[in-house]
Amino acid sequence: MTKADPPHAFSYDFEPPYPEPNGLHHGTFSVRIEEVAQGLCEVTITERRKAQTLGNVVLGWLDDLPRDRMICARARIEGRRDWSMIGRQLPQR
C-alpha cells in the first residue's frame, strides 16, 4: 500500500509474484471516494501500468476490463440486471 486515507482514498502498487523482464504487469491501483451530495459519492478508480506495448494498449482499450468491473459493481449496487461480461459469469440476484 502506497497511500491510505480511510475512508476517502487508498493506493497500492502491484506486480506479479514471478520475475517479469518487461514490467507489463507492474503498476499502481488507486481509489478515491468523494461525497458530492448528501448520500451520493463519486468513486474514481485509476489503474496505471508501468510498461505497455502498443499492442497491449490497443487490447486494453478494446477489452476495457476495469470498466466492465465498474459496470458490474454499479448494476449490483443499484439492484439492476448486470449486463457486463463479468456479470454474465456470476449468478444473477
- Kindly list the strands in the beta sheet with 9-14, ordered across the sheet, starting from the edge strand earlier in the chain: 3-5, 9-14, 27-37, 40-49
pLDDT score at 69: 86
pTM comes to: 0.65
**How is residue 52 annotated by DSSP?**
-
Instruction: Give kind and range of the element (H or E) at residue 11.
Output: strand 9-14
The per-residue pLDDT of the chain, averaged, comes to 87
pLDDT confidence band for 93 (50 / 70 / 90): low
- Alpha-carbon distance values, 7 to 14, 17, 71, 76 (Å): 21, 28, 22, 21
